[in-house]
Amino acid sequence: FTWTAKNNGTTDADLYLIFKLTNSWTWTETEGSCSVPAGEKVTCSFDISSLTDRNITLSVTVANYAAGYKGTIIYDDFAAGTDTLFNFNKDKYDAFSRGFNNTEAMIPEIKVVYNEDYTMAIKTPLVLNSSKISFIDNRVMISTKSSGKLSVDVFDLNGNRVATLYNGSLSAGTHTFDMAKMPKGGYIVYVKGAGISATQPVKVR
């Protein structure tokens, strides 16, 4: 399974491939991810030959797990083997949609463009200047300059809440929440309160 990704952001992207195969989400069994350096175009390739029911695919998700990424990624030329699935120089429709309870504030724009250097001009919300979410060594780290009530929830890739890491009052500063005891795999962390409303894709290893 291959596609091209052009990273028009200023930081590297780290792309993972997820398939909805029949009734369950299945990560590709290929180790690692597709790294797309800032300003570069890369062909991402994953071996899916060992995936059960790979020919009964309900949907495909590309997840950027690069912590704190802000920018525009141009996708094109999705193919399975020798069969082209989507080529946006020819296909006149948008095959993408937001997932994992993402909102327009989190993913401001999804559209078909015909210029791989396209970058959406985004005014950065003030909340992004006062808070930061990162994921290192199976730990969620949240830094905020505001105190207040905060909830940190974890969702699986079907959008079901599977854990609440914190729900209560939090002082300004940097706080760490451990996910090491959770089963290995991909999750979406949703943080709300204390001047923050954001999601962060993470992968517990």
Q: Could you please report the per-residue DSSP string of 106-134?
A: TS------S-TT-----PPPHHHHHEEEE
Average pLDDT over residues 80-101: 69
DSSP-derived 3-state class of residue 161: strand
Residues in the chain: 205
Predicted local distance difference test score (pLDDT) of residue 156: 83
State both tokens at 186: 């991909």
Report the mean per-residue pLDDT for the chain: 78
State both tokens at 153: 């929830």
Q: Return the bridge partners of 188, or none.
A: 155, 201
Indicate if the pLDDT at residue 5 is higher than 80. Answer: yes
Q: What percent of the chain has pLDDT over 70?
A: 75
**Which has more confidence, 28 or 138?**
138
For residue 41, which of 75, 90, 81 has the smallest C-alpha distance? 75
Q: Which residues contact 11 (CB under 8 A, 6 or more apart)?
A: 38, 66, 68, 69, 70, 71
Indicate if the pLDDT at residue 2 is higher than 80. Answer: yes
Average pLDDT over residues 89-115: 67
Indicate if the pLDDT at residue 38 is higher than 90. Answer: yes
User: Which of the four pLDDT bands, split at 50, 70 and 90, describes residue 195?
Assistant: confident
Indicate if the pLDDT at residue 100 is higher than 70. Answer: no
Average pLDDT over residues 21-49: 75
Q: Model pTM greater than 0.85?
A: no
Say which amino acid occupies 102. Answer: N
* pLDDT tens string 76-85: 888 887 877 7
For residue 199, which of 147, 161, 148 has the smallest C-alpha distance? 161
What stretch of H or E contains 54?
none
Say which amino acid occupies 112. Answer: V
Predicted local distance difference test score (pLDDT) of residue 41: 95
How many Å apart are CA 34 and CA 174, to the nearest integer? 30
Q: Dihedral through CA 111, CA 116, CA 117, CA 118, nearest 10?
A: -10
How many Å apart are CA 149 and CA 147, to the nearest integer? 7
Domains of the chain (ranges; CATH) run: 2-86 (no CATH), 126-204 (2.60.40.3080)
The segment with the largest mean pLDDT, out of 89-93, 141-145, 179-183, 199-203, is: 179-183
Indicate if the pLDDT at residue 126 is higher than 70. Answer: no
How many Å apart are CA 61 and CA 19, to the nearest integer? 6
How many Å apart are CA 80 and CA 117, to the nearest integer? 25
The segment with the largest mean pLDDT, out of 15-19, 70-74, 89-93, is: 70-74
Give backbone dihedrals phi and psi of 108, rounded to 5 degrees, phi first: -65, -30
